[in-house]
Amino acid sequence: MNLVVGNLVDPVFRPPSEWDALLIAITNGCTRKCTFCSMYRSKTFSIRKNIEEIKKDIKLAGVIYGNRVRKVFFEDGNAFVVKPEILIELTEYCYKIHPNLKKVSAYAHAKDITKKSDDDLKRIADSGFTMVYVGIESGDDDVLKACNKGTTQDEFTLAAQKCHKAGISWSGIFLLGLAGNDPEKSRKHAIESAKSIDRMAPPTLINWYISPLTLGITPGTELWTQRSTGEFQPCSSTQILEELYTMIEYTSDDLQKCIFNTNHASNYLNLKGELSRDKNKFLEIIETAIKNPNMCRPDYIRGL
Ligand code: SF4
């Protein structure tokens, strides 16, 4: 269960692996409006300007939770957008107040990273900020453009390499089904995503993380409207599995320490292991699931 101190504005989101983190709001909402994403539609993006108030929240958590805080997750949608000095000051303060703290992380858009210099990113890492979670969605620039992601495969590659160089762990999230059910587009989405994964690989032996999710179409989004007009037609469950298969198949056999995880509730299959070490095992499981759809999580369990 997350540790909270009453500083959050609903709705609140965080990565599954931050289920036990102290959640500290340093921004509200997200700077972008991707066509498939409804998460922060009810919020106008803003940065909390009063640093002393944020520090009070961090300190209050020490009073409430004592030495129990081991992780801090900065909210909201792309909290990494704030200036380096703010990230550094708040991260250092978190470690000062919480002696058992091991991890400080946030969601980031690629531009929040590429706009920061290598020196700034290194200083952020040195302050104890440990990980960014980045919604990449696709390696296909056409898909990225269509969903209004506001970035390209090249920029994601640069962002990942800048993080590796600085020592900030990289967790990239892809979105199966985002190209729709056109077989050619779906395959291109998968192949370009594999290429994107290869290009994000760190030059040294460090853990990095890739997690595909499966598209769910939610009310209030442009994609919802596009589906209702027929402009966007969603993939079948088989197509989603085929995309996952192709994405894995096309990744390089030389990837190392790439922790690959499809445990998100939206997915049909739960795969966990390392690319490339477990590549063949993953492909066999997916192939079997395509032939035996009852192996897949049913929709009512997928939490969509
Ligand atoms: S950048 Fe992420 S959180 Fe923001 S709108 Fe896009 S998908 Fe949603």
The rounded distance, in Å, linking the Cα atoms of 50 and 261 is 37
Q: What is the pLDDT of residue 304?
A: 55
Q: What is the pLDDT of residue 240?
A: 97
Q: What is the pLDDT of residue 300?
A: 76
Q: What is the pLDDT of residue 45?
A: 96
Structure tokens that stand for 219 in this block:
């009310």
Q: Which atom of ligand 1 is nearest to the CA of 33?
A: 5
Rounded distance from Cα 37 to ligand 1 centre (Å): 6
Per-residue pLDDT of the chain (304 residues; tens, 9 = 90+): 899 998 899 999 999 999 999 999 999 999 999 999 999 999 999 999 999 999 999 999 999 999 999 999 999 999 999 999 999 999 999 999 999 999 999 999 999 999 999 999 999 999 999 999 999 999 999 999 999 999 999 999 999 999 999 999 999 999 999 999 999 999 999 999 999 999 999 999 999 999 999 999 999 999 999 999 999 999 999 999 999 999 999 999 999 999 999 989 899 999 999 999 999 999 999 999 999 988 888 877 776 5
* Shortest-distance Cα residue to atom 3 of ligand 1: 77
Question: Which residue, among 251, 235, 260, has the nearest Cα to 185 in the 3D structure?
Answer: 235
Rounded distance from Cα 226 to ligand 1 centre (Å): 18
Rounded distance from Cα 44 to ligand 1 centre (Å): 13
In the CATH scheme, what is the code of domain 16-295? Answer: 3.20.20.70
Domain residue ranges of the chain, discontinuous segments joined by +: 16-295
Determine if the pTM surpasses 0.75: yes
Ligand 1, pocket residues at CB < 6 Å: 30, 32-34, 37, 39-40, 77-78, 109, 135
* Shortest-distance Cα residue to atom 8 of ligand 1: 37
Q: What is the pLDDT of residue 303?
A: 60
